[in-house]
Amino acid sequence: MTEIRREELFSVIRQAAKIPANILISDSSRFVQDLGVDSLDLVGVLLSIQDTHEFELTDDEIAKIENVGDVVRLMDQRGMKLSAA
């Protein structure tokens, strides 16, 4: 089990989609509605997360991602434990 700090994940998301500092990121943040991430941004966000933490998401999994918590869950299923925010 690899432990990853949540802030680290949030930072990767923020940087990849250029999310302004005044928008808070949490597990419940919805990419489109809350973070202002469009479908193109989301591709970049997921690419960055996969690169940073060296894992692969399937197309089916990607299609179902709506919020940050969905990504946390998929990482958890791959043995990556996200530390408390």
Partner 1 sequence: MSSDRSPLSPDSRIVVVGVGAVTCLGTDWQTTWEGLASGRGGLRRDTERLPGDKFLVDIGGFVNGVGPGTPGEDARLAKLEARFLHYGLKAAEEAWKPMAGRVFDRDRVAVVAASAFGGVDVLDQERVKAESRGRLNLGPYTVPTLLINQLGGQISQHLELYGPGFAPSNACASGGHAIVMGALLLRGGMADFVLCGAAESAFVPSIVNAFATMKALATIKPGDRAFEAPEQASRPFSADRCGFVMSEAAGMLALTTLEQARNLGLEVLAELTGMAVNSDGFHMAAPHGPRIETCLNLALKNSGLTPEKIDHYNAHGTSTSVNDKTETGVLRRVFGEHAGGLAICSIKGALGHSLGAASAVEAITTVESLRRGQIVPTINYVPDPELDLDYVPDRSRSMDIRYAMSASFGFGGTNNALVFRRWIDD
Instruction: Please give the positions annotated as active site.
Output: 38
How many residues bind partner 1 (CB under 8 A)? The answer is 9
Q: Does 32 bind partner 1 (CB under 8 A)?
A: no
Q: How far is the CB of 71 from partner 1 (least distance, A)?
A: 16
51 in contact with partner 1 (CB under 8 A): yes
CB of 51 to partner 1, least distance (A): 5
Between the CA of residue 66 and those of 1, 29, 56, what are the distances in Å? 25, 9, 17
- Does 44 bind partner 1 (CB under 8 A)? Our answer is yes
Binding site for partner 1 (CB under 8 A): 17-18, 20, 40-41, 43-44, 47, 51
